[in-house]
Amino acid sequence: MRRIGAPRLALTLCAIAMIQAALAAPAVAGPKPAAEARATPTTVAVMPFVPRSGQGQAWLSKGLADLLIQDLAQVKSLAIVSREQAQVFARELQLGDSPLFGPETALRMGRVAKVDRVLYGHYALTGERIAITIFVLDMARQEVIQREEVEGPLRDLRALLQKLALQFTGRQGIELSETERTNIRFETTDSISATRHFYEGLHLYDQGRHADALGEFAAAAKQDPRYREAQLWMGTSASGPRRTPRSCPSRALARRASWPGLMPWISTATRSCAWWSSTSA
């Protein structure tokens, strides 16, 4: 039997390896199927809401946008710009807390954020009722392509925002799974008083008034002891100006924690989040 020399053996082994790699590699395909082509999520930025007329309320402007962001973030085919990222873009545009959000400002925001859609809108309070309108700006066409409205009691604020999220996705042709619908309908609290205290606290926190924010978050948690997100922000406010729960891994778990038995774990996660934030800042 003839022996194979070292150079020839190396070439043989190399050829075998190349054949194996070619067999293991996925076949080169032509254009992607429609379902696969839709895998790239549509990027969306949500701007703070403004009063339709008269004096606005900071907690509502911030809360309406944040609640809509949370609902739309449950949709896998959408990539939503976070509240913190939107604030960074607003600072770049030198918008501050200006209520002058309209199509022109939305267009500027879309260019800075580099998104496909920008959602902006306004609200009107009449006694204990609220009317909310959103506009969807398509950045490619640079025009408003959708308008949705909801109206109802202020106490049903979260349900109204969920309805808006479903109307938006429906008109955009997005087919939601049952899990996505369930997640959108999930409520961290059903207390409008707790919701108001929470977003008052969030507004104060964004202004750097952490002690005042802590008081509002504590009031929100007192109104609804099951409001885990308020409890998580209490820990963040007490820890000072560090990374917020929006970018902390435990925050998503806190949003789902409606079982009182999870409270000790949430408290531990909050402290861990503060430590993680300080070490990774």
108-151: pLDDT as tens digits: 888 988 999 999 999 999 989 999 999 999 999 999 999 999 99
Identify the pLDDT of residue 259.
41
What are the pLDDT digits (tens) for 223-273?
Answer: 999 999 999 999 988 876 655 554 444 445 455 444 444 444 344 344 334
DSSP designation for 155: G
Confidence grade of residue 277 (pLDDT, cut at 50, 70, 90): very low
User: Which among 67, 20, 15 has a CA at the least distance from the CA of 46?
Assistant: 67
pLDDT greater than 50 at residue 279: no
What are the pLDDT digits (tens) for 192-216?
Answer: 999 999 999 999 998 899 999 999 9
Spatial distance between the Cα atoms of 20 and 29, rounded to a whole number of angstroms: 19
pLDDT greater than 50 at residue 160: yes
Crossing angle of helices 192-206/157-171, nearest 10°? Answer: 80
DSSP designation for 170: H
Spatial distance between the Cα atoms of 218 and 212, rounded to a whole number of angstroms: 10
**Mean pLDDT over all residues of the chain?**
78
Spatial distance between the Cα atoms of 185 and 163, rounded to a whole number of angstroms: 9
Average pLDDT over residues 8-22: 49
Identify the pLDDT of residue 6.
52
Identify the pLDDT of residue 52.
84
Are the C-beta atoms of 99 and 56 separated by less than 8 Å? Answer: yes
| In the chain, domain spans | 42-185, 192-280
Q: 113 in helix, strand or coil?
A: helix
Identify the pLDDT of residue 219.
97
Identify the pLDDT of residue 241.
60
Residues across the chain: 281
Spatial distance between the Cα atoms of 235 and 237, rounded to a whole number of angstroms: 6
What are the pLDDT digits (tens) for 25-72?
Answer: 444 444 444 444 446 899 999 988 988 876 678 899 899 999 999 999
Average pLDDT over residues 20-26: 47
Q: 74 in helix, strand or coil?
A: coil
Residue type for 49, please? F
pLDDT greater than 70 at residue 177: yes
What are the pLDDT digits (tens) for 62-85?
Answer: 999 999 999 999 999 999 999 888
For 109, the token pair is 């925001």
More confident residue, 1 or 42: 42
Are the C-beta atoms of 280 and 245 separated by less than 8 Å? Answer: no
CATH of domain 192-280: 1.25.40
Confidence grade of residue 189 (pLDDT, cut at 50, 70, 90): very high
DSSP 208-271: T-HHHHHHHHHHHHHH-TT-HHHHHHHHHHHH-SS--GGGSTHHHHHHH--SGGGHHHHHHHHH
Identify the pLDDT of residue 280.
40
Identify the pLDDT of residue 222.
96
Q: Strands 129-138 and 143-153: what pairing?
A: antiparallel
CA 115 to chain centre: 14
Q: Using the Cα atoms of residue 81, residue 87, residue 91 and residue 94 in order, give the sign of their dihedral.
A: positive
More confident residue, 179 or 240: 179
Confidence grade of residue 20 (pLDDT, cut at 50, 70, 90): low
What CATH topology corresponds to 42-185? Rossmann fold (3.40.50)
User: Which among 83, 78, 147 has a CA at the least distance from the CA of 115?
Assistant: 78
